A and B are shown apart, each in its own frame.
Chain A
Amino acid sequence: MTPDIAQTSRQIVMGWHFWIATILFLGAYALIVSEKIHKTIVAICGAAVMIVTGILAQDEAFHSLELGVDWNVVFLLISMMVIINIMKPTGVFEYIAIRSAKAAKGEPFKIMVIFSLVTAFLSAFLDNVTTVLLIAPVTLLICQALELDVVPYLITEALASNIGGTATLIGDPPNIMIASKAQLDFMAFIYNLTPVIIVVLAAYIISIKFIFGKRLAVREELKARVMAMHEKEAIKDPVLLKKSLIVLAITILGFVFHGMLHLQPATIALTGAGLLLLVSGIKDPHRVLADVEWATIFFFIGLFIIIGGVVKVGLIEWMSLEVLKITKGNLFGTSMVVMWFSAFASAFIDNIPYVATMNPLIIDMAKQLWPGLSGAQLLHHPDLMPIWWSLALGACLGGNGTAIGASANVIIVGMSEKMGSPISFKKFMLYGMPLMIESVLICTVYVWIRYYILNI
C-alpha cells in the first residue's frame, strides 16, 4: 500500500529563508569536502550564520529535540573520550597488542589476523581512530622486529577497525547518531548489526588470506625478537588499570541495560566517565579533559545546527519527497538504495555530515508514509527498521572504500608515509574498494533475507 504522499506533506515555502539555508548547507558541504577550511571552523561558522539570519532561533538550536544540537551524541562522545584518555597511559593497549603478537608466535599471517581481530573488537567499543592510534605503533614495532613490510598490516588494521566499529551503537559516530535520532538502544544494534558484522569479519579474514597470505614470510631467528618482549613491562599503572577495567565493564553493562533502565547511552557514558574520574585519583582533571577531541565535538555541534536549519525550512522534507518519487514507496528498494548510496557516499565524503543529513530525511520519509504515527511508533515502524540498519551498515562500511573514507584510513596513510612506504590513493583503493564492496554485498544479502524474507 502506497499512501498518498502529496496529501500528507505540508506546503514547503521556498522563501528567502529556504534559499539562504540551502545555500549555507550546500556551501558548508562543499567547503568540508574541499578541505580548504578546517571542517570544524566551517561547521561553527555555518551554525552561527544559521542563527544570526534567524532561520533557526537560538532556543531551537540549543534546546529543540527535533532541530537542535543532539546532546545525546555530544555527551556520549565526550564521555567515552574521557574514559579512554584515563585508560591510555595505563599501557593496557600495548600489553594487548604485544600479547597478541606473541600468541601468534611471530608468524606473520597469524599476527595480521590477530591484530585485525583485536582492532575490530576494540573498535566496537572505542572510537576507531583511537583504536588505530593505540594499536598501530605496536604494529610498526613488531613489523620492524620481523623485518616485514608495514603497508599490509596498516591497511588491514584500518579496514578491520571500520568493520568492528559498525558492530555496536558506540563503535562508530554514524551509529551513535542513528541510535539517538531513531531512539534505538544498544541491544538493538547487537541483535541487528553484530551478527552480520561477524560474518563480514570472517569473510574479511579469508579475503586477506588470499591477498596477503602467501606474500608474508619471516626468518626464523627474527621471531625470537618478538618472543623476547615482556608484555607485562607495558603496564605502567596496574592499580589504575584495574580501576579502569572495572569502570569500563560497568559502563558496558550499563549500555547493555540502558533500554531497560530507561536511561540514554549518553547518561550511561557520563556516569562511567564521572565514576572513573572519581576513583582514578586524578587530582586535576584538566589534562584528561583537555585531551578530549574538541575539534570533533564542535564539528558535531555546528553540523547539528546547520542540519536543523535545513530541516526547519523544509529542504530535507523536499529531498525526502524526491526520494519517495524515485522509490515509489518500495521500502525494500529504498533500503537497498540507502545502503549502497551510503556506502559509496561515505567512501568519498565524511560519513558524519552524511548521516546527520540522512537521519532527518529518513524520519521525514516515514512521516510521509505513515502520517498518523509519531514517536517510537513512527521511528520503529517494522517497515522502517531495515532502512535504519541499511544506513548504518552502508555509512560505516563505506568508509573502507578509499584512503579518505574514514579517519582511521587517513591516520594509517600518514603513518605509512612516515615509515618511508607511502600508500597512494590508488593503492589503498585497490585493497579497500573490493573489500568494501564484498562487505556491503554480504550486508545486502543479510538485510534481504533477514528483514524481507524471514521477517525477523
Chain B
Amino acid sequence: MKAKNLMIPVKKCLTPDNTIKDAVNILQADRNGEEKRGSDVLPVLDQAGAIIGILSVHDILKAVHPFYLSMAETNLGNFTWDGMMESLAKQAGNKTIGAFMTKDVATVQEDDSLMECIDLMIKKNVHQLPVLEEGGKITGMIYGKDIFYNITAIMLNKETAEKP
C-alpha cells in the first residue's frame, strides 16, 4: 500500500497571515475522511501554493503558552493561576499563525511506501505527514492513526487466520 491509498484529501489550507482564530474556525468546521472526523492539522501554504508549514493543535497550545514559562529551567508552571489560560486564549485569537506554525515539515510523495511514512513519523516525532503530488503540490495528509488502523487490521486478520 502507498501513501496515496491511505491519505485523506486536503480541502482547506492556511496562509501565514491567517489568525489563530481563522485556524480554529476551520479546524472546528472542517470534517474530513470517511468517518468525517475533524482534522488535527492544517497545512500552511505560501502564495505560490508550496507548503511552508503545518499548524497543529499543539501549535495552537503554543500560541496560548507564554514563552517565559519555557525559559526558566525549573517549572514555573507551578505558579500559574486559575483563569490565566482563559485570558491568554482571548488574546491569542488575533495573533497570526506564521510565528507558531511548525516550519520544519517532513513530507512524503503519493507513491511512497507506508514504511517510509512510518520511518519519517518516528524520526521526526510527528503524527501526520503532508502528501505531495509530483509537482510538489499538497494533495492530502496521511495520519499515524490511519496507519495504526491498517496495522491493527493486518495483525488481527493474521491472528484469526492462524487460529483454527
Same complex origin of A and B: yes
Flag if A144 contacts B78 (CB, 8 Å).
no
Flag if A137 contacts B69 (CB, 8 Å).
yes
Q: Which residues of B contact A88 (CB under 8 A)?
A: 73
**A137 to B74 alpha-carbon distance, docked (Å):** 11
Q: Is B76 an interface residue (CB 8 A)?
A: yes
Q: Is B149 an interface residue (CB 8 A)?
A: no
Q: Is A415 an interface residue (CB 8 A)?
A: yes
Q: Is A35 an interface residue (CB 8 A)?
A: no
Q: Is A418 an interface residue (CB 8 A)?
A: yes
Within 8 A of B (CB), among A131-149: 133-134, 136-138, 140-141, 144-145
**A94 to B76 alpha-carbon distance, docked (Å):** 8
Q: Which residues of A contact B80 (CB under 8 A)?
A: 141
Most central of A90, A137, A138, A236 by chain B CB within 10 Å: A137
Flag if A137 contacts B79 (CB, 8 Å).
no
Q: Could you tell me the distance in whole angstroms from the C-beta of A149 to the nearest C-beta in chain B?
A: 14
Q: Which residues of A contact B67 (CB under 8 A)?
A: 415, 418-419
**A229 to B74 alpha-carbon distance, docked (Å):** 15
**A137 to B70 alpha-carbon distance, docked (Å):** 9
With contacts A94-B76, A144-B66 taken as known, whether A137 is within 8 angstroms of B81 at the C-beta atoms is no
Q: Which residues of A contact B71 (CB under 8 A)?
A: 133, 136-137
Within 8 A of A (CB), among B85-130: none
Q: Is B161 an interface residue (CB 8 A)?
A: no
Flag if A236 contacts B75 (CB, 8 Å).
yes
Flag if A89 contacts B66 (CB, 8 Å).
no
Q: Is B72 an interface residue (CB 8 A)?
A: yes
Q: Is B156 an interface residue (CB 8 A)?
A: no
**A419 to B67 alpha-carbon distance, docked (Å):** 8
In the complex, which residue of chain A has the Cβ closest to the Cβ of B80? A141
In the complex, which residue of chain B has the Cβ closest to the Cβ of A415? B68
Q: Is A233 an interface residue (CB 8 A)?
A: yes
Flag if B68 contacts A145 (CB, 8 Å).
no
Q: Is B84 an interface residue (CB 8 A)?
A: yes
Q: Which residues of A contact B74 (CB under 8 A)?
A: 89-91, 94, 234, 236
Q: Is A228 an interface residue (CB 8 A)?
A: yes
A145: contacting residue among B69, B75, B81, CB under 8 A: B81
With contacts A144-B66, A418-B67 taken as known, whether A138 is within 8 angstroms of B76 at the C-beta atoms is yes
With contacts A140-B66, A144-B66 taken as known, whether A134 is within 8 angstroms of B75 at the C-beta atoms is no
Flag if A141 contacts B73 (CB, 8 Å).
no
Interface residues on B, range: 10 to 19
Q: Could you tell me the distance in whole angstroms from the C-beta of B1 to the nearest C-beta in chain A?
A: 43
Q: Is A98 an interface residue (CB 8 A)?
A: yes
Q: Which residues of B contact A236 (CB under 8 A)?
A: 74-75
**A86 to B76 alpha-carbon distance, docked (Å):** 18
Q: B-facing mask of A274-313, CB < 8 A → 1, else 0?
A: 0000000000000000000000000000000000000000
With contacts A144-B84, A418-B67 taken as known, whether A137 is within 8 angstroms of B78 at the C-beta atoms is no
Q: Which residues of A contact B75 (CB under 8 A)?
A: 236
Within 8 A of B (CB), among A74-131: 88-91, 94, 98
Q: Is A426 an interface residue (CB 8 A)?
A: no
Flag if B68 contacts A136 (CB, 8 Å).
yes
**A144 to B80 alpha-carbon distance, docked (Å):** 10
Q: Is A225 an interface residue (CB 8 A)?
A: yes
Q: Could you tell me the distance in whole angstroms from the C-beta of A293 to the nearest C-beta in chain B?
A: 15
**A229 to B75 alpha-carbon distance, docked (Å):** 13
In the complex, which residue of chain B has the Cβ closest to the Cβ of A143? B68
A225: contacting residue among B72, B73, B81, CB under 8 A: B81
**A98 to B67 alpha-carbon distance, docked (Å):** 18
Flag if B68 contacts A228 (CB, 8 Å).
no
Q: A-facing mask of B56-68, CB < 8 A → 1, else 0?
A: 0000000000111
In the complex, which residue of chain A has the Cβ closest to the Cβ of B67? A418
In the complex, which residue of chain A has the Cβ closest to the Cβ of B75? A236
With contacts A144-B66, A418-B67 taken as known, whether A233 is within 8 angstroms of B72 at the C-beta atoms is no
Q: Which residues of B contact A233 (CB under 8 A)?
A: 78-79
With contacts A98-B79, A233-B78, A234-B78 taken as known, whether A137 is within 8 angstroms of B84 at the C-beta atoms is no
Flag if B68 contacts A141 (CB, 8 Å).
yes
Flag if B69 contacts A141 (CB, 8 Å).
yes
**A418 to B67 alpha-carbon distance, docked (Å):** 8
Q: B-facing mask of A32-45, CB < 8 A → 1, else 0?
A: 00000000000000
**A233 to B74 alpha-carbon distance, docked (Å):** 10
Q: Which residues of B contact A133 (CB under 8 A)?
A: 71
**A314 to B76 alpha-carbon distance, docked (Å):** 54
In the complex, which residue of chain A has the Cβ closest to the Cβ of B83? A225
Q: Could you tell me the distance in whole angstroms from the C-beta of A334 to the nearest C-beta in chain B?
A: 44
**A87 to B29 alpha-carbon distance, docked (Å):** 49
B76: contacting residue among A90, A141, A418, CB under 8 A: A141
In the complex, which residue of chain A has the Cβ closest to the Cβ of B82? A225
Binding site for B on A (CB under 8 A): 88-91, 94, 98, 133-134, 136-138, 140-141, 144-145, 225, 228-230, 233-234, 236, 415, 418-419
Q: A98-B79, A144-B66 given. 19 additional CB < 8 A pairs?
A: A91-B73, A91-B74, A94-B74, A137-B68, A138-B72, A141-B69, A141-B76, A141-B79, A144-B84, A145-B81, A145-B84, A228-B81, A229-B79, A230-B79, A233-B79, A234-B74, A234-B78, A236-B74, A415-B67
A–B Cβ pairs within 8 angstroms, 29 of them: A88-B73, A91-B73, A91-B74, A94-B74, A98-B79, A133-B71, A136-B68, A137-B68, A137-B69, A137-B71, A138-B72, A140-B68, A141-B66, A141-B68, A141-B69, A141-B76, A141-B80, A144-B84, A145-B81, A225-B81, A230-B78, A230-B79, A233-B78, A233-B79, A234-B76, A236-B75, A418-B67, A419-B67, A419-B68
